[in-house]
Chain A
């Protein structure tokens, strides 16, 4: 079935995921999703961001049939989840936030069994599992029980499991949480390759650098609502200022002021400068030279997406308070 999924897509180019007015209220009255709309095109690498409790995992759960939605429609490659649930499920691969495999099972069995649930013959599932595990550098562990794997290996196991049926839409819920930088970067490369090969990817992450580097489009959820949904480049171009941090060679007691940018102490050895994004850095260095300030090093205070994310969440909270 997974092999034929290309033929099952109704329209020529329906969105990979189309969500309309999706609402979820839990039994305890908590509103997790308050009517979200989202369209993710085929081939996209989409970032779904939000603070803890914003509704990201609930939205993903609803798409993957793990959470019963209260109302709204979800279509995957043109197929309505309410009417063609099995078809929709066959398109999706999920890498959940928590490790959710049987830790007492061998690695290979976890993946081969998952293939079976999608109707893939055991022999074929084994062949695919071998290829995936080799690609993810886990093949030498395939006979080991999952509990013996490190955190990074467990994450890669979940990616391999999610890919066994060649899903057209891969949803990754914080796939690199707790993974060291080396493995994280190798996972980025792998995911980019998958995306280039045509798999639509939805990524939630707390590493905004990851989202900024990998994703083409982005939505930000806050309190169960989509407060931003746009192209990553366009979104970052809205940032008007950039914040830079300078480490001083010697501590300073008083701070000269500038008309061209804002300057303030972080501490006696560190300066923070807020600069208009169109301004030249030369102004800053001229300023340092004029005041005989010796700089050891400089860096961005936060990455740009993080800057935007914080601003947007804060703005949304202010709007809610004023309403």
Chain B
């Protein structure tokens, strides 16, 4: 395929993905907005008043970056895993497999769809957050980079999950039993510096901690982790997962037999 044709193929996959989650916005966009509103009301306003300040900020201000990042992570992941798994189960992934669209474009198309939903939901949650607090973004470029790279990373992870999944249970295992606990323990609601040294050190093995803190640094200017550590981790994980996804696609594992 020529570069122009490759670009057209990418757009086709991306548009299809965006139309897919847009068509079912009541299932994809609205629920995170409602859930996050509840978080802001309960944890931010009601419980937050009792907690007082954290890291020099009102508690509601402190948790906003983490809550936005949480919705970006879960939506990026679930968009790709559900879309690609459905395509696999219903057979319409064959539309792509028989076409000359390169594997990397198939992957990038789905991942871009996941990023679009992740960022879309992130934007909606940010708007909801503005009803409860003011946001003065300290480092806009870093904020944007961290959120895009994180969304990219979890979209790719969702793609790998979908390739291996053989049932809808397998699609839900990772988000429920791995992603959600890691997110909750990833410093969304607290600073890891509050933990005893042993648990603080254990927390450093949680990759989500780096993303949440990187995003918090971008918005509030404070973080438990250095920006360099955040970007290093993001690039290493993206490189690793993207390579795995391309390898699986090119071998046709879970797709071609």
Query: Which residues of chain A have a CB within 8 Å of any CB of chain B?
Result: 1, 26-27, 64-68, 85-87, 89-90, 92, 94, 96, 98-105, 109, 113-122, 161
Contacts and interface: CB of A to CB of B under 8 A. Distances in A.
B26 interface: no
Chain A, interface SS category: loop
B223 to A, nearest CB: 42
B138 interface: no
B257 interface: yes
B101 A117 contact: yes
Interface of B: 1-2, 4-6, 8-9, 11-13, 15-16, 19-20, 23, 86-87, 90-92, 94-102, 251-252, 256-257
A102 B4 CA distance: 26
Contacts, number: 93
Contacts of A113: 12, 15-16, 95
Contact of B2 (A94, A101, A119): A119
Contacts of A92: 98
A119 B95 CA distance: 13
Contact of A100 (B4, B20, B94, B99): B94
A64 B96 CA distance: 11
Contact of A64 (B8, B16, B20, B98): B98
A202 to B, nearest CB: 14
9 contacts: A66-B98, A89-B99, A98-B91, A102-B20, A116-B11, A116-B15, A117-B95, A119-B8, A122-B8
Nearest to B99: A117
Contact of A68 (B8, B9, B19, B257): B257
A117 B96 contact: yes
Nearest to B24: A104
A117 B12 contact: yes
Contact of A119 (B6, B23, B90): B6
Main secondary structure of the interface of B (DSSP, over half): helix
A103 B86 CA distance: 11
Contacts of A104: 23
A118 B97 CA distance: 11
B1 A119 contact: yes
A46 B195 CA distance: 72
A73 B221 CA distance: 60
A68 B5 CA distance: 26
Nearest to A102: B92
Contacts of B252: 68
Contacts of B95: 100-101, 113-114, 117, 161
A114 B94 contact: no
A10 to B, nearest CB: 17
Given A68-B257, A87-B100, A102-B87, A116 B8 contact: yes
A119 B9 contact: yes
Contact of A89 (B6, B19, B100): B100
A185 to B, nearest CB: 27
10 shortest A-B CB distances, which residue pairs? Answer: A116-B12, A119-B5, A100-B91, A117-B99, A86-B100, A89-B100, A117-B101, A102-B92, A64-B98, A90-B100
Given A113-B15, A113-B16, A116-B13, 18 more contacts: A26-B257, A65-B97, A66-B98, A66-B256, A68-B251, A68-B252, A85-B100, A87-B100, A90-B100, A92-B98, A100-B92, A100-B95, A116-B11, A117-B12, A117-B13, A117-B100, A119-B2, A161-B95
Which of B6, B19, B251 has the largest count of A CB atoms less than 10 A from its CB?
A: B19
Contacts of A120: 8
A89 B96 CA distance: 11
